[in-house]
Homo-oligomer: A and B are copies of this chain.
Amino acid sequence: MTQIDPFQLEDFMPYLLNRAAEKASLEFQKTYKSTYGMLRTEWRVLFHLGRYGELTAKQICDKSDLHKTKVSRAVSALEKQRFLKRTEVPTDRRHELLSLTKQGQAAFAHLQAEAVKYNERVMSAFTPEEQDIAMKFMKQIAQLT
Cβ of A51: which chain B residues have Cβ within 8 Å of it?
A: 8-10
Measured CB to CB, the nearest residue on chain B to A52 is: B9
* Contact among B9, B118, B138, B140 for A17, CB-based, below 8 A: B138
Cβ of A125: which chain B residues have Cβ within 8 Å of it?
A: 140
Copies in the complex: 2
Measured CB to CB, the nearest residue on chain B to A126 is: B137
Q: Is A4 engaged at the interface, CB distance under 8 Å to the other chain?
A: no
Measured CB to CB, the nearest residue on chain B to A29 is: B14
Q: Is A143 engaged at the interface, CB distance under 8 Å to the other chain?
A: yes
Q: Are A13 and B7 in contact (CB under 8 A)?
A: no
Count A-side interface residues using an 8 Å CB cutoff.
49
Q: Is A65 engaged at the interface, CB distance under 8 Å to the other chain?
A: yes
Q: Is A130 engaged at the interface, CB distance under 8 Å to the other chain?
A: yes
Q: Are A144 and B10 in contact (CB under 8 A)?
A: yes
Q: Are B18 and A21 in contact (CB under 8 A)?
A: yes
Taking the nearest CB of chain B, how far is it from the CB of A67, in angstroms? 11
Cβ of A27: which chain B residues have Cβ within 8 Å of it?
A: 14
Q: Are A119 and B12 in contact (CB under 8 A)?
A: yes
Measured CB to CB, the nearest residue on chain B to A133 is: B133
The 9 tightest CB contacts between A and B, nearest first, are: A17-B21, A19-B142, A14-B24, A20-B141, A21-B21, A134-B137, A16-B138, A20-B142, A20-B138
